[in-house]
């Protein structure tokens, strides 16, 4: 009799658990995305030939110093392998361009390949027709080269040979490997950015092509005078942090709010007053490890009101279920705001200059960070219970970016 009762209770429990599972799936809570949620899918770009023009004049390429292109590519491939070992799916821009529809490739290559006929009497329409004929015959590999190198053919008349001679100018997309910047991924969806620098403008079109190939439809593209770059955005569970400084402006943030693209009821606009290339984005001096743990560079953490490093923030809120944001508080101390919510791990100057703050959080208290940091910082991470995987990125960081800048997390698994 006891065995029958035990068997009956077991069946009842199994049935009840099954019902509860079904109910949970039907009534699943859509928790906001957070920087500390487990990373599932990431978009990256391993740099190639397009990087060379950037390193031969680093400043013009928006880089900090010369670095070896081949070593940089090897470091990047190793970083991808480390992410994959953590069960993360990594798509690369090159892989997508090799798989996407040929007509889409031809259309984008046709926009980026230019024939300059300004010195000729030739009809520009005829030159465009000639270009379209060439594009139509191009192999996939050469179409990709056109996209990444952005060549311009400056044409001149000659009485010899074919009747033309030319100079060849390239505007290669050397910063494309910083895939954090061309888009942001919010709880509402994906947003295509409007890049601040002329050198980087076409990158957004390439990333849009990648989204289309992956079947992802962005909810917004920043337009006009609006500027937005992904390094300035950090989702944090119930609120969004958005930096306003060198690369992202108020107009870009306004467009995000008006479109309800943040998906959070609280938006923290973090205002940088220093405008320093080393800290061009929010993620270069502030980052998040868990729902109660973050990092901040020591110069920002200890700055007084009159210091250039002093950071303020504006708090924008909306009533649940509405779309209109209202300014709740202006020019609040960013440090004080953080101290109310997080334990802060300081990043000292030596480590900051080695891009210690620009790590990627792939799960709660689990980060991928640039190797070679001080023992003091390693001890701080260990004391806070942070698992750190140290990545060798000595070449790539000379491009003014590191582990966080090189990744666009397209999907995170919720923590709950």
Question: In the predicted model, is pLDDT for residue 8 greater than 90?
Answer: no
Question: In the predicted model, is pLDDT for residue 209 greater than 80?
Answer: yes
pLDDT for 224? 97
Question: In the predicted model, is pLDDT for residue 122 greater than 90?
Answer: no
pLDDT for 24? 29
Q: What is the DSSP letter of 195?
A: -
Average pLDDT (176-182) is: 97
Question: In the predicted model, is pLDDT for residue 29 greater than 60?
Answer: no
Burial of 47: CB neighbours in 10 Å, binned 0-12, 13-18, 19+? buried
User: Strands 343-347, 326-333: parallel, antiparallel or unpaired by DSSP?
Assistant: unpaired
Task: Could you list the beta-strand ranges (E) of 21-64.
Answer: 38-44
pLDDT for 124? 84
Question: Among the listed ranges 24-28, 81-85, 366-370, which one has the minimum average pLDDT value?
Answer: 24-28
Say which residue, 30 or 389, is predicted with more confidence: 389
Question: In the predicted model, is pLDDT for residue 310 greater than 90?
Answer: yes
pLDDT for 414? 61
Burial of 159: CB neighbours in 10 Å, binned 0-12, 13-18, 19+? exposed
Residue 201 pLDDT class (50, 70, 90 cuts): very high
- Taking the whole predicted model, whether its pTM rises above 0.85 is answered as yes
pLDDT for 323? 85
pLDDT for 198? 86
Rg of the chain taking only CA atoms, in angstroms: 25
Give the separation between CA 140 and CA 102, rounded to whole angstroms.
7
CB 5 within 8 A of CB 262: no
Task: Could you list the beta-strand ranges (E) of 81-196.
Answer: 89-92, 114-116, 151-157, 164-170, 183-185, 190-192
Question: In the predicted model, is pLDDT for residue 163 greater than 90?
Answer: no
pLDDT for 193? 98
pLDDT for 13? 29
Task: Could you list the beta-strand ranges (E) of 255-325.
Answer: 266-271, 286-290, 293-297, 312-317
Question: In the predicted model, is pLDDT for residue 31 greater than 60?
Answer: no
CATH 3.30.750.200 fits 38-97+174-284+304-333+408-413, yes or no: no
Residue 20 pLDDT class (50, 70, 90 cuts): very low
Q: Where are the domains of the chain?
A: 38-97+174-284+304-333+408-413
Interval 264-297: pLDDT, tens? 999 999 999 999 988 999 999 999 999 999 999 9
Interval 38-60: pLDDT, tens? 999 999 999 999 999 899 999 98
Q: Give, in order, the Cα–Cα distances in Å from 8 to each of 2, 4, 11.
A: 10, 6, 5
Question: In the predicted model, is pLDDT for residue 115 greater than 60?
Answer: yes
Average pLDDT (18-24) is: 30
Task: Could you list the beta-strand ranges (E) of 140-275.
Answer: 151-157, 164-170, 183-185, 190-192, 220-221, 233-235, 239-244, 266-271
pLDDT for 159? 86
Question: In the predicted model, is pLDDT for residue 1 greater than 50?
Answer: no
Average pLDDT (123-150) is: 94
Question: In the predicted model, is pLDDT for residue 15 greater than 50?
Answer: no
pLDDT for 162? 87
- The pLDDT mean for the chain works out to 90
Give the separation between CA 286 and CA 321, rounded to whole angstroms.
30
Closest CA to 275 of 288, 285, 260, 266: 285
Residue 372 pLDDT class (50, 70, 90 cuts): very high
Phi-psi region of 369 (alpha: psi -120 to 50; beta: other; left: phi over 0): beta
Question: In the predicted model, is pLDDT for residue 362 greater than 60?
Answer: yes
pLDDT for 336? 98
Give the separation between CA 67 and CA 148, rounded to whole angstroms.
19
Give the separation between CA 278 and CA 356, rounded to whole angstroms.
12
Question: In the predicted model, is pLDDT for residue 303 greater than 60?
Answer: yes
Give the separation between CA 416 and CA 238, rounded to whole angstroms.
14
């Amino acid at each position: 009799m006891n065995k029958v009762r035990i068997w009956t209770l077991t069946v009842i429990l199994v049935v009840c658990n099954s019902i509860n599972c079904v109910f949970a799936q039907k009534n699943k809570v859509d928790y906001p995305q957070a920087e500390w949620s487990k990373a599932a899918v990431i978009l990256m770009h391993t740099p190639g030939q397009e990087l060379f023009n950037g390193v031969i004049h680093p400043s013009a390429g928006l880089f900090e110093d010369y670095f070896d292109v081949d070593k940089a590519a090897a470091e990047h491939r190793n970083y991808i392998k480390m992410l994959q070992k953590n069960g993360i799916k990594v798509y690369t821009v090159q892989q997508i361009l090799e798989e996407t529809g040929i007509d889409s490739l031809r259309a984008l290559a046709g926009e980026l390949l230019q024939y300059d006929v300004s010195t000729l009497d030739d009809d520009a329409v005829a030159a465009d027709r000639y270009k379209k004929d060439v594009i139509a015959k191009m192999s996939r590999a050469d179409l990709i080269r056109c996209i990444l190198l952005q060549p311009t053919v400056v044409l001149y008349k000659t009485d010899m040979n074919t009747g033309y001679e030319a100079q060849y100018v390239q505007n290669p997309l050397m910063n494309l490997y910083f895939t954090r910047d061309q888009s942001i991924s919010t709880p509402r969806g994906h947003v295509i950015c409007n890049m601040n620098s002329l050198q980087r403008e076409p990158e957004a079109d390439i990333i849009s092509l990648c989204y289309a190939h992956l079947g992802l439809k962005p909810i917004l593209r920043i337009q006009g005078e609006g500027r937005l770059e992904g390094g300035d955005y950090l989702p944090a569970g119930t609120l969004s942090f958005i930096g306003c400084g060198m690369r992202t402006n108020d107009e870009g943030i306004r467009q995000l709010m008006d479109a309800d693209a943040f998906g959070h009821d609280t938006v923290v606009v973090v205002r940088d007053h220093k405008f320093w290339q080393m800290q061009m984005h929010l993620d270069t001096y502030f980052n998040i490890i868990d729902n109660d743990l973050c990092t901040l560079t020591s110069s920002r953490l200890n700055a007084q009101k009159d210091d250039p490093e002093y950071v303020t923030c504006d708090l924008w809120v909306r009533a649940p279920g509405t779309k209109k944001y209202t300014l709740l508080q202006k020019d609040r101390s960013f440090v004080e705001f953080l101290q109310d919510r997080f334990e802060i791990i300081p990043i000292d100057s030596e480590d900051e200059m080695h891009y210690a703050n620009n790590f990627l959080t792939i799960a709660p208290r689990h980060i991928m960070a640039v190797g070679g940091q001080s023992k003091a910082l390693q001890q701080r991470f260990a004391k806070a219970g942070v698992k750190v995987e140290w990545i060798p990125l000595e070449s790539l960081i000379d491009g003014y970016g590191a582990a966080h800048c090189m990744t666009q997390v397209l999907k995170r698994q919720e923590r709950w």
